[in-house]
Amino acid sequence: MNATNAPASPPRSSNRLAREKSPYLLQHAHNPVDWYPWGEAAFERARKEEKPIFLSIGYSTCHWCHVMERESFENEAVAKILNEHFVSIKLDREERPDVDKIYMTFVQATSGGGGWPLNVFLTPELKPFYGGTYWPPEPKYGRPSFSQVLKRIDELWKTQRADVLGSAADITAKLQSMASYDANNAFPAGERELHGAGQTFLHEYDSVNGGFGTAPKFPRPSQPLFLLRFGQRFGDPEAIKAVQHTCDAMAAGGMYDQLGGGFARYSVDERWLVPHFEKMLYDQAQLLQLYLDTYLATGEVRNAEVARGIIRYVARDLSHPDGGFFSAEDADSEGKEGKFYCWTTTELKSLLSPEELAVVVRYYGITDAGNFLDHSDPQPLPNLNVLSVANPKLSEAERALLNSAQPKLIAARNRRVRPHLDDKVLASWNGLMLGAVARASIILAEPEFKQLAERNLAFLRAKLWDPATKTLYSRWRDGERDQVQLLDAYANLLSGVTDLYEATVDPRHLSFAVELADAMVKRFFDAEAGGFWQTTADAPHLLLRNKEDYDGAEPSGNSVAALTMLRLAAICDRADWRTAGEKSIRLMAQRLHQFPQSVPHLLLALDFSLQEPKRVVLAGDFSCGSTQSLLRAAHSVFQPHKVVLGTAGPVEAFARTLPVNEEFTQAYCCSGTACQPPTRDREAVRKFLLTTTP
């Protein structure tokens, strides 16, 4: 719960959420609302007392969730209405994206919009009949007050319950029909879809400010990641320039933490200047992948420096001592959004010499009036400046002054109250970050990044993987894991482990990837229609079972699974995995053709599927220096249509037949069934990967 400047009040008694592990639920543990966590106890009470369910979904670093809590859920009068007439449930969307997906789809379909907090009214059988997002304490923004909504729903439930139940049944039937998939409707997707998608994305490209679309601007890395591949496949340098421009604009803006590294969630304006300050692990992971690929595609060293900044931020501020990665940091500090990150000229004058101040003011675009005001705060802090690179050209003397000023600013910032840390460890987001850090370790030749990745995987295997049952659980926090299994967890961790294997060719990692892949297919793959279900067949308390088909802030489990299945199939020569990947793409082909903006990560899978990947097979001890040298060569060029493997472990049969020299490692560069003579020449490996396959 956010701190405020008000005098401390006596501690309130806690509700049921005090026994939970979710930081979001714990934030509401002292609300006067009689909250339940998602589960049978709440559903049983709703059935027994014949009351509607009020389901409120959010996450711990959600700014508007904080606003609604402060305005409504801490309000005794509002709590009285909820406690008398509803069974109230709080849900962390980051722990249960499967539940969130069902009710977000309902709200988007019925209201035309969505977001968090997501507030939905359900029958005791969990069928939705009304919902929305943020409701203010008094009517404003064209919205009714929350109390008005509650009273109206209570009135309808008491006077027109039959109509409400009938409407809920109809809505549920429509939701279930939307979740059905017919493989017979699929048609093959190919280069036509890739070309059309690239043209669509370039049409949305903001050539002035970088990025795609208008304000608010989200990074959505899968989109520029695809444009890099589009530019390579179709020989379009403008696509690659658009991505580099976007990367430069994001890194220069206030969305990038100019002092501490790492990216905020999104920019509220079209110039990437003023961010929504929360920092999410999944954004760091995906943006790290983007800056690594852009570095390889362009050779621009500034991309590598941003990548290093992201990793330094995660290692410093989002890491458990034993290796897990935490989920997020809040936008707010002491109840004020951006307070931790922003500066006034008065404060800067007290910290810096006049010469340093002059350079900092010009370089970062500081003004007396400031460039950020929190319009959601009834008493916003004045004259705040978000740091951005407004005037990058500095003389050598000015650069020295900036370098002497920055440690002073960092030291002063470190004395401030940090934003709330959501310290749960999610298998899905950790998998994304694991893969990005693993790739960075070999692309940037940073051994400590490899250690960071290895420790992360060891943590996840110790805390969330059950080797006896081959089960991956979703969340760990405070010494306890949950019992939830989700496709996103399996798919993202599988992708991350595959990246780690290709960065190390350590057969232990490939063996674990094989275990994960088989477990994922067994639990989630729809062998008849194709695609992967979001949940297992026996998941309790779900209105329906979905196949996620939207790559939004995070890539969908289906898109990640399809691409990773194809990559692993090439490494291990597993026809069943190749079929799973191809059938999943085919099931979503209609979306690829008609609305590629909705599935940019699936476009990566389609792109990979359309040609036989080049194979670099390293025959030798995976830990020796010559292996590391050839590995760096194999990862030093932008070639998304490749796999890198060793000769040990569950690799494809041909690789296991290659002779291993005990003194040095050799690289076999293969396309299809043909391999070039073995080589120890790094440049020969690079040349092979850069050669266009006829």
Structure tokens at 538: 């026996």
CA 374, 60, 98, 428 dihedral sign is positive
Report how far residue 533's alpha carbon sits from residue 525's, in angstroms, rounded to the nearest whole number: 6
> pLDDT, tens digit, for every residue of 395-414?
999 999 999 999 999 999 99
* Residue stretches of the chain with pLDDT short of 70: 1-12, 183, 185-187, 693-694
Peptide bond into 216 cis (omega under 30): yes
Contact assessment for residue 245 and residue 198, using Cβ atoms and an 8 Å cutoff: no
Contact assessment for residue 424 and residue 94, using Cβ atoms and an 8 Å cutoff: yes
Which pLDDT score, from 0 to 100, does residue 11 have? 54
Q: Taking the domain 209-331, which CATH number applies?
A: 1.50.10.20
Q: Which residues contact 596 (CB under 8 A, 6 or more apart)?
A: 193, 196, 197, 200, 201, 603
Report how far residue 647's alpha carbon sits from residue 662's, in angstroms, rounded to the nearest whole number: 13
- pTM of the predicted model over 0.75: yes
DSSP 596: G
Which pLDDT score, from 0 to 100, does residue 493 have? 98
Q: Which residues contact 499 (CB under 8 A, 6 or more apart)?
A: 434, 435, 436, 438, 439
Which pLDDT score, from 0 to 100, does residue 592 have? 92
> pLDDT, tens digit, for every residue of 76-101?
999 999 999 999 999 999 999 999 99
CA distances from 337 to 147, 277, 384 (A): 26, 7, 11
Report how far residue 500's alpha carbon sits from residue 151's, in angstroms, rounded to the nearest whole number: 54
- Same CATH topology for 16-178 and 209-331: the answer is no
Q: Which helix (H) or strand (E) holds 129?
A: strand 128-132
What topology does CATH give the domain 16-178? Glutaredoxin (3.40.30)
Contact assessment for residue 545 and residue 586, using Cβ atoms and an 8 Å cutoff: no
Which pLDDT score, from 0 to 100, does residue 621 have? 86
The residue with tokens 């996620």 is 548
426 exposure class (CB count in 10 Å sphere: 0-12, 13-18, 19+): buried
577 exposure class (CB count in 10 Å sphere: 0-12, 13-18, 19+): buried
CA 463, 469, 475, 480 dihedral sign is negative
Domain ranges for the chain: 16-178, 209-331, 341-415, 614-690
Report how far residue 255's alpha carbon sits from residue 265's, in angstroms, rounded to the nearest whole number: 8
Report how far residue 70's alpha carbon sits from residue 214's, in angstroms, rounded to the nearest whole number: 31
Residue 77 φ then ψ, to 5°: -70, -40
